[in-house]
Each structure stands twice: as structure tokens, then as C-alpha cells.
Amino acid sequence: MNASQPPHPTPGPSEHALAVTRVSDTQWQAVDGDLVVGRADASRRPDGRLFVSVDAWYDTARDRLAATVLADLPAPLHTVADEADHDAVAAWQRLGFTPVRRERTYVVPTDPHTTGLAPARPPAGVTIVPAGRAQEGPLRDLDRVVRDEVGAGAGWPTMPAEVLPRPAGTTVVDPSKYVVAQQDDRYLGLLRLAPVTRRPRIGLIAVRAEAHRRGIARALLAHTLGSLHHAGTASAWAEADETNTAAIALLEGVGARHVGSILELVRR
């Protein structure tokens, strides 16, 4: 790269007209001349809520993309933003979005001597099935059970806001990402670990309601973090809704460090 040239376009449209086009049912793009300067996406969560996101190189493209998406899609619409990114939060609020929930983000150490999980063992009669070894059928059954229990209880609004889109009727996209707690021939709990390049992400820890308060979630976490430490990974990411006191206590109890917050906003 020539050091005399900026690595990105200058912050504003060129002499060409900025055009925003819907390229699919869930995607839009902003083009300045022959250069794509922004994209927007929409995805629907398992509970039916529609989330939108905008990524643009300058404010004009961002605002035009957002306005087009809002005109094309029915309310209510949801989005997420880093609470520390004041410009992004303010931009969404100018468009009529208001905050409805806050999700804490954590860096979780993996060293058992730091987490205090070195002596942790599963409850009597429970074994931990490592990632990639769970049987797909029982895993899918457990996933459906815990999702139904979430829906009947606290509800999906308390679950992590960033949920990957899933093919219709599919609950477990990649079984190799799941660590499972098993008793006899039944799966009682699961932990989903996304192997992100720089730092793995703990995306979900869930236990059947009938098996709560037995230390199963802690055992799943102990196994997963211990395996990461053994593989040379020093830390992982995790998120928890600020109202989910059990998840926060579990994470902070193993030395997880609160490093930021994600806001979910809605436009009704």
C-alpha cells in the first residue's frame, strides 16, 4: 500500500450519485460510482423478531441504507450496537430506535487455576461428552427441549441478541460445536462453542429445567475451558443478558472480566 494514499475512501460521497439497491429479500447495498461503500442485512431470530444491521464507510451511505431498509421492511425492527460506539447508537436512535435490553460481554480465562475449576467434577452419574462426539439425534432432541423451556419461561428476549440465522426447521446447525452432559442414555445439558479464530465464543449454555442446580452448567464450563487451556487458548468470549443473574454469577464466579455491553434497540 502506498503510504501517501488513505486506506479507505474519504468520509463522504464522491461526485457520483450514491445509489442504494435492494439486492435480495434480506440484503441491500450502497454504491458510490462503481464502488460498493456499504451493505445492510436483515435476519429473523427463532422467536420471529427481525434484526437489521448496516455496515458503511461513511455516514451518508449508512443513513441512506438505514432509511431504505426501514422503508422496505415492516415494523417492529430490531438491531444491536456496541454501547461504547456512541455514534452508532445515536444514529439508530435518530431513526426512531430505542434501547430495550443490554447484554454484557465477558472475557473468560481458561486456566483452571485462575477459574477455580481445577477440582470441578460432574455430578454423580453425569458424564461430559466432548465436542464432536455427541450423538446428533439426542443432541437435537435436547436442543428442542431447552428451547421450548426458554420459550415457556424467560423467553427468547433474554437470550443472546446475536443469533445466527438457521435453515427452516433446523435447531442444531453444526453438532461438532457442542459439549454435552449425559446421564444414562439422556442428554441433560449442552454448551455451544464457536471456534472463532482469535478467541473462541461460548454461545450458549443450557440445562434441562429438571436438572437445574446440580452443577451441570459449571461442569460443562469446566470441561470446555480446560480443553481450551490444554490446547493453548488463554481466553474465550461470552455474553449474558444483564437480567440473567444465574449466567452472570456463573461467569463472574470463574473470573470472567466484564469488558463491554451490547445494546438491543427496537423501532416499533
What pLDDT shows up at residue 2?
38
94 with 197, same domain?
no
Domain finish residue from 77, 102, 127: 102
Mean of the per-residue pLDDT values of the chain: 86
Please check whether residue 24 lies inside any domain of the structure.
Answer: yes
Instruction: Count structural domains, the chain.
Output: 2
Q: Is 255 left (phi over 0), alpha (psi -120 to 50) or beta?
A: left
* pLDDT confidence bin for 195, thresholds 50/70/90: confident
Tracing cell 454501547 back to the chain, one arrives at 83
The kind and range of the H/E element at 86 are: helix 86-94
Percent of the chain past pLDDT 90, that is, above it, reads 66
Residue-wise DSSP of 141-210: HHHHHHHHHHHHTT-GGGS-S------TT-S-S-GGGEEEEEETTEEEEEEEEE--SSS-EEEEEEE-GG
The parent domain of residue 207 ranges over 105-261
In this prediction the pTM is: 0.80
The answer on pLDDT for 209 being more than 60 is: yes
* pLDDT confidence bin for 3, thresholds 50/70/90: very low
What pLDDT shows up at residue 225?
96
Please check whether residue 60 lies inside any domain of the structure.
Answer: yes
What pLDDT shows up at residue 7?
39
The answer to whether 171 touches 138, Cβ cutoff 8 Å, is: no
Beta strand 35-44 with 50-56 is antiparallel
27 with 156, same domain?
no
Please check whether residue 6 lies inside any domain of the structure.
Answer: no
Measured in degrees and rounded to the nearest 5, phi and psi for residue 48 equal: 95, -10
